[in-house]
């Protein structure tokens, strides 16, 4: 192969690689930055949602305790408590 042709091919490949790699790397960096910001917002959102779910579970546990008490208490006492609630 001619020496001038080899140098031309090397320079052409180097320029072609630069033309492809520079925009690709810029795109990857931009996506990484956006993903970083989304991650912070996502963590905050998940923490808020977790707190709401904890509160909901606590309310449901409280209601479940009442239902368990109703199911296991004698009917007479349950009827009496219901009647007291009606009078209040």
Distance CA 33, CA 27 (A): 10
Q: Is residue 78 within 8 Å of residue 70, measured between CB atoms?
A: yes
Most distant CA pair in the chain, distance: 107
32-68 pLDDT, tens digit each: 776 666 677 778 888 899 999 999 999 999 999 988 8
Average pLDDT of the segment spanning 76-80: 81
Q: What is the pLDDT of residue 36?
A: 64
Cβ atoms 36, 29 nearer than 8 A: no
pTM: 0.44
Q: What is the pLDDT of residue 1?
A: 64
C-alpha to C-alpha distance for 14 and 22, rounded to whole angstroms? 12
| pLDDT tens string 11-40 | 999 998 888 988 898 888 888 776 666 677
Q: Shortest CA distance to 18 belongs to which of 28, 8, 26?
A: 26
Domain ranges of the chain: 10-87
d(CA 49, CA 84): 38
pLDDT, averaged across the chain: 84
């Amino acid at each position: 192969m001619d020496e001038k042709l080899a140098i031309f091919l090397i320079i052409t490949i180097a320029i072609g690689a630069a033309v492809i790699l520079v925009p690709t790397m810029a795109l990857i960096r931009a996506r990484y930055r956006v993903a970083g910001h989304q991650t912070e917002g996502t963590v905050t959102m998940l923490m808020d949602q977790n707190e709401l779910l904890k509160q909901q579970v606590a309310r449901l546990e409280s209601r479940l305790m009442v239902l368990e008490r109703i199911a296991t208490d004698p009917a007479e006492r349950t009827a009496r408590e219901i009647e007291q609630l009606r009078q209040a």
